[in-house]
Amino acid sequence: MKNFIILILIVFIHFSCNDSFEPVNPIPSERQKVWQEMEYYAFIHFNMNTFTNLEWGYGNESPSTFNPTELDTDQWARIIKESGMKGIVITAKHHDGFSLWPSNYTEHSVKNSPWKNGKGDLIKELQNSCEKFDLKLGIYLSPWDRNHSEYGTENYIKYFRNQLTELLTNYGEIFEVWFDGANGGSGFYGGADDIRKVDKKTYYDWPNTYSLIRKLQPNAVIFSDSGPDIRWVGNEKGYANKTTWSNIYRDSVYTGMVDYSKFSSGQENGTHYIPTETDVSIRPGWYYHPEQDDKVKSLEKLIDIYFNSVGLNSSLLLNIPVDTRGLIHENDAQRMIELHNYLKSTFKNNLITNSKISINKRKVSLKNVTDKDFNTFHALKSKEKNIITISFNKERPANIFEISENINLGQRVKAFNFEIKVNNKWQTIEKGTTIGSKRLIRFSNDNVQGLRISILDSKDVPLISELGLYSSN
Ligand code: FUL
């Protein structure tokens, strides 16, 4: 009898977390799934602009200007690791064209700088530091190059791909390749000093560049305004849309399009799965400016950004401008650690564990939705209304709710309501739309007796992978 019950239990558990459910297309690729679990990682803007105190260099800067005095990529990696981030995306080349590695295809690089007497390779140093601190390495390579004499011609595309090949061949595993939407305009262009406009849709021949990346780094995700793996969130403030579909009609967007932001919430019936990435700087500028040393964002602001990016079906790419010494400035480091301490203590105890959960009035097990494993899930019964009720035997002070869908089988939920029970009364906290990989909802601190999540509309049966209740105090 005992064995029989165990067998039934195994069958039940297997049924509620297996993949016998039909996917709702589009679904993420393996590389997107791996990336999606990273959630929070660092951008580093450090290059020629650090030394000229600019945001965009013209392309005529002398390599002799690049001269960090105490450059230490181990310091970056250590602080980033201690901040709970999972990787680093570095500006290997920004719009001014200066390359942080000794590229064989240009003289405009570290090899002609005083740093390490021209013998340095910053990308190599960063690769080693990332390996040492178990972080992933990503590359920002600006498609626009205001230094290169042939920018705007076919030859420049060859140059761009040659540089990409160097970066994707010589520095180990690259997790993300980042392409900026800012393209074409005035520049030095090898002394021509003119304005070069390019057709953003056709000039770069992106499909062939993407194939090259797939060949050299099959696990890397490619970021641009339009994907193909990750798309821009549509602003640089750190805020994703409340409604965020990871689906988009890929042909409706292209890199550098002017009115891109109108597509930033995605499209419910979009043909491709291309989730958003939220990029924002910890300071007003992307690059280091000494006059911004006291303008590092407050802890409250960074927490707000976290909830509005990671908590809105997006990822957070937080930029740290490394300073002229070649170090993360003390003020930034302190704030990064403060944010980490907040996140660590807040999300330590899921207050839902050891409570009673029923779905449409039937008692169910909490196992799959509180195991912090996005691959296990509980399938609801219908694609219309489902009510998940969680009741506590003793009220629990709380102010954060978390819910995730199993996105491996496609994003589904279109509308939900979230309520809490306080003083024996139900209060509506959020009338929401999409959920996706993670939805975090904050409310004012209260003694919560129960939670009610009504999934009101969904493309197919909702697959709930995580539920959480937390207190940030
Ligand atoms: C923008 C660039 O023009 C900025 O300089 C910065 O690199 C930011 C992340 O992307 O489009």
Report the mean per-residue pLDDT for the chain: 94
Q: Are strands 221-224 and 230-232 parallel, antiparallel or unpaired?
A: parallel
Model confidence, pTM: 0.95
Of all protein residues, the one whose alpha carbon is nearest to atom 10 of ligand 1 is 180
Tokens of 244: 């965020």
Q: Using the mean position of ligand 1's atoms as its centre, give its distance from the Cα of residue 180 in Å.
A: 6
Pocket of ligand 1 (CB under 6 A): 55-56, 180-182, 279, 286
Does pLDDT of 12 surpass 50?
no
Tens of pLDDT along 288-337? 999 999 999 999 999 999 999 999 999 999 999 999 999 999 999 999 99
30-346 under CATH 3.20.20.80, yes or no: yes
Domain locations in the chain as residue ranges: 30-346, 350-470
CA distance 437 to 310: 9
Split at pLDDT 50, 70, 90, the class of 9 is very low
Q: Are 401 and 459 in contact (CB under 8 A)?
A: no
* 16 has pLDDT over 80: no
> CA-CA distance, 213 to 226, in Å (whole number)?
16
Ligand 1 atom nearest 142 alpha carbon: 7
At 3, is the pLDDT very low, low, confident or very high (cuts 50, 70, 90)?
Answer: low
Sign of the Cα pseudo-torsion (389, 390, 391, 397, in order) = negative
Q: Calculate how far, in angstroms, residue 237's C-alpha sits from the geometric centre of ligand 1.
A: 12
Q: Which of 469, 468, 450 is nearest to 356 (CA)?
A: 450
CB contact at 8 A, 225 and 181: yes
**pLDDT tier for residue 11 given thresholds of 50, 70 and 90:** very low
High-pLDDT (> 90) share of the chain, %: 85
Q: Are 417 and 289 in contact (CB under 8 A)?
A: no
Q: In CATH, what number does 350-470 get? A: 2.60.120.260
* Contact partners, residue 104, CB within 8 Å, separation at least 6: 162, 166
Specify the pLDDT at position 18. Answer: 45
Give the closest residue (by CA) to ligand 1 atom 4.
286
CB 418 within 8 A of CB 429: yes
Residue 2 has pLDDT above 80, yes or no: no
From 236, 277, 287, 289, mutation site for ligand 1 pocket: most ligand atoms within 8 A of C-beta: 236
Q: Which residue has the tokens 């007497």?
A: 117
Best probe residue, ligand 1, of 55, 180, 278, 281 (max atoms within 8 Å of C-beta): 180
**Taking 50 as the threshold, does the pLDDT of residue 15 lie above it?**
no
The residue with greater pLDDT, 362 or 117, is: 117
In this structure, the dihedral spanned by the alpha carbons of residues 68, 70, 74 and 79, taken in order and rounded to 10 degrees, is -90
pLDDT tens, position by position, 402-419? 999 999 999 999 999 999
Q: How far is the CA of 286 from the centre of ligand 1 (A)?
A: 7
Q: Is 292 exposed, middle or buried (0-12, 13-18, 19+ CB in 10 A)?
A: middle
Count CB atoms within 10 A of the CB of residue 349. 13
Atom of ligand 1 nearest to the CA of 180: 11
Given ligand 1 and candidates 146, 286, 287, 317, which is best to mutate, with the most ligand atoms within 8 Å of its CB?
286
pLDDT of residue 383: 83
